[in-house]
Every structure is written in structure tokens, then in C-alpha cells.
């Protein structure tokens, strides 16, 4: 059974509202969900401005996020719109109609652009917007396809991972494992590490699959399912993975924040964390957030706790992004919050007007952010 979790920030609410079976196993209810924290005043220490803003189409609840490259941003709307935008100016280079309800994307290596549909199709396009090959998958798609290293890798909601040749669309390999009886219906990103692809799985596992044939190179435990009921035992790896140097870090719902050696999967350190989104890292710290909306930082080398900011509790935060000057997250009201990476203190705040569930993406000296209402904006950080 798959439990529907349309937004990472709604994890606890979705557990309580997913039907009679889940209601009998969980004492939470809508009336018991904590209210979002009120925004606190602070002295702004970082100058952030909205350099440009364009409309790409309403996401309508789909976890659509932009693909950001040096010379292009690709973004999509749930109504089938796919656009290419010049990141330096915000000029729309082209806009096409895919004639499909899009639920996943965008993935791109700069040559091929890939999106997933509600009907379980993988659609590809060239950098100039011309249609490419398409493939039918085993179920619908929520996680953005991963494009690069000669392949397009897509994850369908039945947890099947499939790799296609980027030029021809020929199926290279497929990987699947019997999922637990209950899983979260939410995004769980993939990442390249050398000649492998890193994938987080339901049940708290992290695996490295060979790009050549999909064989398991190594497997690591992010979190062990615990509890008497299937709801209590949910420990799916969720959100973004963080990869850098020899480190690979991931977070699990009702589980832990865990970092392993990405060459062999050996545990480096782990800390208890009921994760509400994915993770990111810089040279010194690993940043994550719990299901209640507290943003936390841990030392990358040891896992020691560095700081915790709970001022955004229950504001349904996006995956975090780290920039040289700040760590930023979006919330359900359309605010983008910039936190100091060394202390977690607020440095700036920008309002975009609608819920932000897509992970912000770094470009140049700032971040590109997409809202559920269809706004795509570049937030320039000026020191």
C-alpha cells in the first residue's frame, strides 16, 4: 500500500488524513496538527533581490522543479507547458505544449530534457524544444528524471528504477525490489556518484547502482524501521541526497540523518532525525530539517550538532539549498528564507507569493526558485 504524501511538509497531516486504515493506526488528526509558526522579525544582513520572474504554469500540487544549467533553465507546469529560460536575463527562449499532464521533472544534461507524466510516460526533448523519444513506464512518476552520463534514469512510484540510453531511448536496465507494505508517495531524488547512481529506497536503504547494468555496487542503512504498526515503521528515504567528495548523505522519515562513504557505503556517522525533507552540504556542514520544520546543521566530518533553528516550525519547508553565503528554504506561503550557514540565524527573506515545494537551485550568485503557482524567479544575492 502506498500512502499519499503530496508535499514533504504535509507528512504528519497526510498520515492522519490518508483514510480509515491509517486513521486507525495513528492518533493524529487535522485538529491536532500544530499551527505554522509566525515569522519573526530580524535585522537583514544579506541583500537579496528578485532579478527576474516569469510564469511557467501552475504545478497544481505536482512536485515539479526546474533543471538549472550554466546557460539554460528548463521548467514545467502541470498543464503540459515546458519552457527554456535564459538564466542571465529571464528571457523565455521557447515554450512548448507537451500535450500531457506533467507530474515529474525537469531533468536535463543540457542536451536532453526529460519529464514524467501522470500516465507513466517518460517524455524527452532536445535543447531546442524538439520532441525526442518517449517511453512507457510501469507506473506514474513524481521524482524528476536524472539525465547525464549517457543515460536517462527515471523512478516510477512503484519504486522501479529504469535507465534508458540518452540518444536512442533504448532500455539499458531496470532495478526493483519488493517495497514494504506501506510507503510514502513523495519524491526521493537520485544522484550520480562516479559510474554509479545513488538511490534512496523505502525501508530506509541507500543503494549505489551501476550505470552500466543496474547491479547493486553497495547498500547502506539510513534508518531501520521501528514500531508495532506499518505507519510507525515508515522509514522511507525522502527528498534530496547530498553528495560531495567521499561523502553521501541522506535522511529518512521517522528515522535518521546518515552519512556514508560513497565508495563503499560504509557508515561514517548517523544522527536521529525524523526527516521532513532532504539534505544538502557544503565543505563544513550537512544541513537537514525535521518533520516539524526545524532546520539543523551537523559537522560534516563527525556529525556533531552545530545549530538548530526552530523558528520555521510547521511551515512546510522545501528541500534546502546551500550557497556560499547562506542556506535557503522555501515555505508554504511563498517565502524564501536565507539562514547563515555558520549559525542558522536569519539573514534575509524574500516573498514570492505562492507555496514553494520545489527544491531551490543554485545559479551564479543566487538561486532559482519555482512556486506551485507557476512563478519561476532568480533571487540574486548581493554582498
Report pLDDT digits (tens) over 233-264. 999 999 999 999 999 999 999 999 999 999 99
* DSSP string for 204-232: TEEEEEETTT--EEEEEES----SSSTTT
Residue 333 forms part of a structural domain: no
Number of domains in the chain: 1
Residue 376 forms part of a structural domain: no
Q: How confident is the model at residue 19 (pLDDT cuts 50, 70, 90)?
A: very low
pTM reported for the whole predicted model: 0.91
Residue 344 forms part of a structural domain: no
Region of poorest pLDDT, from 1-5, 142-146, 192-196:
1-5
Residue 135 forms part of a structural domain: yes
Nearest-angstrom CA–CA distance, 260 and 268: 5
Nearest-angstrom CA–CA distance, 87 and 110: 13
Show the domain range for 151.
2-41+64-319
Residue 161 forms part of a structural domain: yes
Q: How confident is the model at residue 34 (pLDDT cuts 50, 70, 90)?
A: confident
For the record, the C-alpha cell of 292 comes out as 516539524
* Element at 380 (helix H, strand E): strand 375-382
Interval 129-155 mean pLDDT: 97
pLDDT > 90 in the chain, percent:
88
Instruction: Supply the CATH number for residue 127's domain.
Output: 2.130.10.10
At residue 321, does pLDDT exceed 80?
yes
- Mean pLDDT (the chain) is 91
pLDDT at 169: 98
* Element at 324 (helix H, strand E): none
Residue 341 forms part of a structural domain: no
Interval 351-370 mean pLDDT: 96
Cis? peptide before 106, omega within 30° of 0: yes
Interval 325-334 mean pLDDT: 97
pLDDT at 31: 39
Give how far the C-alpha of residue 173 lies from the chain's centroid of Cα atoms, to the nearest Å.
24
Mind listing the pLDDT tens digit for each residue in 211-237? 999 999 999 999 999 999 999 999 999
Amino acid at each position: 500500500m502506498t500512502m499519499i504524501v503530496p508535499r514533504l511538509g504535509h507528512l504528519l497531516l497526510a498520515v492522519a488524513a490518508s483514510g480509515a486504515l491509517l486513521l486507525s493506526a495513528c492518533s493524529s488528526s487535522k485538529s491536532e496538527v500544530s499551527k505554522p509558526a509566525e515569522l519573526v522579525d530580524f535585522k537583514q544582513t544579506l541583500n537579496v533581490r528578485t532579478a527576474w520572474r516569469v510564469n511557467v504554469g501552475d504545478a497544481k500540487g505536482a512536485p515539479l522543479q526546474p533543471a538549472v544549467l550554466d546557460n539554460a533553465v528548463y521548467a514545467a507546469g502541470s498543464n503540459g507547458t515546458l519552457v527554456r529560460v535564459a538564466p542571465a536575463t529571464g528571457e523565455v527562449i521557447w515554450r512548448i505544449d507537451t500535450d500531457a499532464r506533467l507530474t515529474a521533472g525537469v531533468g536535463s544534461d543540457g542536451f536532453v530534457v526529460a519529464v514524467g507524466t501522470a500516465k507513466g510516460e517518460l517524455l524527452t526533448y532536445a535543447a531546442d524544444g524538439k520532441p525526442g523519444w518517449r517511453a512507457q513506464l510501469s507506473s506514474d512518476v513524481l521524482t524528476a528524471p536524472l539525465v547525464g552520463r549517457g543515460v536517462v534514469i527515471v523512478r516510477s512510484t512503484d519504486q522501479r528504477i529504469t535507465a534508458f540510453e540518452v540518444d536512442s531511448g533504448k532500455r539499458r536496465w531496470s532495478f526493483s525490489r519488493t517495497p514494504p507494505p506501506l510507503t510514502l508517495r513523495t519524491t526521493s531524488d537520485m544522484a550520480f556518484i562516479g559510474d554509479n547512481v545513488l538511490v534512496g529506497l523505502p525501508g530506509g536503504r541507500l543503494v549505489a547502482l551501476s550505470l552500466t547494468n543496474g547491479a547493486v555496487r553497495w547498500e547502506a542503512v539510513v534508518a531501520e524501521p521501528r514500531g508495532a504498526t506499518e505507519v510507525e515503521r515508515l522509514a522511507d528515504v525522502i527528498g534530496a541526497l547530498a553528495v560531495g567528495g567521499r561523502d553521501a548523505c541522506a535522511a529518512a522519515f521517522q528515522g535518521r540523518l546518515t552519512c556514508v562513504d560513497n565508495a563503499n557505503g560504509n557508515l561514517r556517522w548517523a544522527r536521529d532525525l525524523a526527516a521532513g525533507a532532504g539534505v544538502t552540504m557544503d565543505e563544513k556542514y550537512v544541513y537537514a530539517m525535521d518533520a516539524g520544520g526545524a532546520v539543523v546543521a551537523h559537522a560534516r566530518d563527525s556529525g556533531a550538532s552545530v545549530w538548530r533553528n526552530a523558528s520555521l516550525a510547521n511551515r512546510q519547508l522545501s528541500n534546502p539549498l546551500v550557497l556560499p553565503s547562506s542556506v535557503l528554504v522555501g515555505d508554504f506561503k511563498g517565502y524564501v528564507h536565507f539562514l547563515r550557514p555558520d549559525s542558522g540565524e536569519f539573514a534575509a527573506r524574500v516573498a514570492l507569493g505562492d507555496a514553494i515545494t520545489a527544491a531551490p537551485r543554485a545559479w551564479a550568485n543566487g538561486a532559482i526558485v519555482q512556486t506551485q503557482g507557476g512563478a519561476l524567479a532568480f533571487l540574486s544575492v548581493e554582498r
